Amino acid sequence: MDNLAFDTMIGAYLLDPGKRAYDLDSLALEFFNYKKVSITELIGTGKKQINFSQVPIEKATSYSCEDADFTFRLKKHLEPKIIDMKLQPLLNDIEMPLISVLGDMEEAGVRIDTNFLGELSKEYGAKLAELEKKIYDECGEEFNLNSPQQLGRILFDKLKLKSTRRTAKGGSRATSVDILTKLAEEHHVPRMMLEYRQLTKLKSTYIDALPLMVNHRTGLVHTSFNQTIAATGRLSSTDPNLQNIPIKTDEGREIRKAFIPRADDSKILSADYSQIELRIMAHFANDPMMIASFQKGEDIHRRTAAEVYGVDINDVTPAQRRKAKTANFAIIYGVSAYGLAQQSELSFTESKDFIQVYFERYPGIKSYMDRSIEFARNNGFVSTMFNRRRYLPDISAKSVQARQFAERIAINMPIQGTAADMIKIAMIHIAQRMKGMKSKMILQVHDELVFDVYTGELEKLKNIVKTEMEYAVELKVPIKVDLAVGNNWLEAK
């Protein structure tokens, strides 16, 4: 698989990663205005779908020739554009070599402890049945707890709680977590609904769904990593999505115990980039204070709190650090004072002051943001350290909403995208050095790599992984990777 010459999906994605689809049919239509025969015209859909081998040979022949023809035409059309836009290194040194790395990871698969999930399903199922009964009792009637519409009727019509917000699209009365959390101060039902929502989410999306995804031949779960979905250059994972396995709550973390080593003599190794996006921002912004802090190996959120609150780093309170941490993440996304207030414990006024002092202490950050937006206005796009590009057609839009959205992307995409470039480079180098080893790279979760490592190879692999991740790209700040080993994914954290 390493002798691939070109890939039309990836080529078109690098030329413009903001598009909806890169499949052959879409690209043929877009670039040649040609409507190909769709596969469903040959094999049908749903229950009546047949195998391609059952398609009459004449139809199969012309279909296949059309595929080959347009693949070649697209290659000839896309490659010069790749060269013009200086995307060759990104294509040839990162995205193309990554194809086989991802293929190997998908094929390697992940072992899931289905017995453990079965037990967890019973446990959470019992808790849910109990909750369900209590909620019906408290409401004086039964309704579908999974229906936001019916819940709205109960909360706002029957129990007379105050509806504070409408949903963005349908305009119905919102019952999302922030609303229910507020209402939980004055009533049991919203509090219990929050618990119900959390547990049903865990049970339906993970606990009950994952065992169904175990491959009958291998006994393992094989996700698909998609290389041409995210507009920032990140990967995505589907069927199942193994990039959103719970970790925040104790109930959710239990699920990570089900991700286990494939053999008696292997372990799970997890390697995490520490604060990678803030480090990249410090690098781009060339901000003296933030760079110095990373060079000293400080806790960046404590340093931020110390600067903003004007106290010694050793005197920062937990509450101050919490607020600084929220602010640091919000800054990466280009948040407003209002947004920060919504997200944190800060009031609107406190948020405004916080952001003002933040930019006084980290002047480089402010000028990075202004420069990014200015660049986008002048050029119509922004890009990462490795020339990955994203177009921002709305950067000068009349609509305030559309324009501000484009401005936030102008700030965030180069940071998030450079982090994506970096871990992709590390993955390629690691895969190269793992050749001949029994251990497997099995997952990528944006700033984390997960391995199923044989104990005899543990020390060697730890060294390879740490080195290749930390030295994939050179920044003005040191890059730190945390390693952890365990008998499941939770222990390896």
400 binds DNA (CB under 7 A): yes
Query: Using the rule CB under 7 A, which residue among 241, 367, 387, 467 binds DNA?
Result: 241
Cα 283 from Cα 272, distance rounded (Å): 19
Cα 153 from Cα 167, distance rounded (Å): 15
Closer of 169 and 435 to DNA (Cβ):
169
Site stretch for DNA (CB under 7 A), options 7-15, 164-172, 257-265, 379-387: 164-172
Backbone angles phi, psi at 221, to 5 degrees: -100, 125
Query: Using the rule CB under 7 A, which residue among 239, 315, 345, 360 binds DNA?
Result: 239
On the CB side of 122, CA atoms within 13 Å amount to 5
Site stretch for DNA (CB under 7 A), options 123-131, 198-206, 309-317, 459-467: 198-206
26 binds DNA (CB under 7 A): no
487 binds DNA (CB under 7 A): no
62 binds DNA (CB under 7 A): no
Site stretch for DNA (CB under 7 A), options 32-40, 79-87, 140-148, 372-380: 140-148
The answer to whether the peptide bond before residue 240 is cis (omega within 30 degrees of 0) is yes
Tell the smallest beta-carbon distance from residue 403 to DNA (Å): 9
131 binds DNA (CB under 7 A): no
Tell the smallest beta-carbon distance from residue 150 to DNA (Å): 5
Query: Using the rule CB under 7 A, which residue among 53, 54, 144, 378 binds DNA?
Result: 144
The sign one gets for the Cα dihedral 366, 368, 374, 380 is negative
What residues contact residue 305 under an 8 Å CB cut-off, 6+ apart?
Answer: 311, 316, 317, 320, 321, 323, 324
Cα 408 from Cα 178, distance rounded (Å): 23
Site stretch for DNA (CB under 7 A), options 30-38, 76-84, 111-119, 145-153: 145-153
- Percent composition of the chain: helix, strand, coil (DSSP 3-state, to 5): 60, 10, 30
Closer of 248 and 435 to DNA (Cβ):
248
Closer of 121 and 243 to DNA (Cβ):
243
Tell the smallest beta-carbon distance from residue 170 to DNA (Å): 2
Q: What string of H, E and C letters represents the secondary structure of 189-202?
A: HHHHHHHHHHHHHH
88 binds DNA (CB under 7 A): no
49 binds DNA (CB under 7 A): no
Q: Which amino acid is at 140?
A: G
Tell the smallest beta-carbon distance from residue 193 to DNA (Å): 8
218 binds DNA (CB under 7 A): no
Backbone angles phi, psi at 148, to 5 degrees: -60, -35
Q: How many CB atoms lie within 10 A of CB 329?
A: 15
340 binds DNA (CB under 7 A): yes
Site for DNA in 408-447 (CB under 7 A): 408-409, 412-413, 416, 445-447
Query: Using the rule CB under 7 A, which residue among 192, 337, 369, 428 binds DNA?
Result: 337
Angle ∠(203,207,212) on CA atoms, nearest 5: 120
Instruction: Say whether 151 sits in a helix, a strand or coil.
Output: helix
- At 81, which helix (H) or strand (E)? helix 57-84
Closer of 361 and 408 to DNA (Cβ):
408
342 binds DNA (CB under 7 A): yes
250 binds DNA (CB under 7 A): no
